[in-house]
Amino acid sequence: MTDTVYRLPAPGPEPMTTDLDGWVKTEGTPSMKTWVQHTSADGSVISGTWAATPGSWHATYKFYEFVHLIEGRIVITPDGGAPVTLAPGDAFVVEPGFTGTWKIEEPVLKHFCIKLK
């Protein structure tokens, strides 16, 4: 077994700027930028940085995501559930099968880790 540590580089100049699969704008004109800064050797996990401007999306999750919120304020409301307000320093997980609203109240910057397989 090899122990490996990979330090993420600073986000590069060319982020992905299209909305994520399963995300549909529902309020305002929010935009997002995604930088995938590392992919595991077997392709099962990606990690990086995500930024978004105020507005709302309805999101459908296929994969597990761990998030550490660096900047901004988000209110995440599962369909039929109670809203969860998240602020800088908060860490949280979104499970596969989640459907609900991400309301970006203040510009967001987050680190993420997504298990694809």
Alpha-carbon gap, residue 41 to 89, rounded angstroms: 29
Do residues 36 and 77 make contact, with C-beta atoms less than 8 angstroms apart? no
Q: Which amino acid is at 71?
A: E
**For range 100-113, the mean pLDDT:** 98
pLDDT digits (tens, 9 = 90+) for 46-56: 999 999 999 99
Summary mean pLDDT of the chain: 95
Confidence of residue 92 (pLDDT cuts 50, 70, 90): very high
pLDDT category at 110 given cuts 50, 70, 90 is: very high
Do the strands 55-60 and 45-52 form a parallel or antiparallel pair, or are they unpaired? Answer: unpaired
Domains, the chain, in order of start with CATH, read: 23-115 (2.60.120.10)
pTM for the complete prediction? 0.93
What's the mean pLDDT in 38-46?
Answer: 94
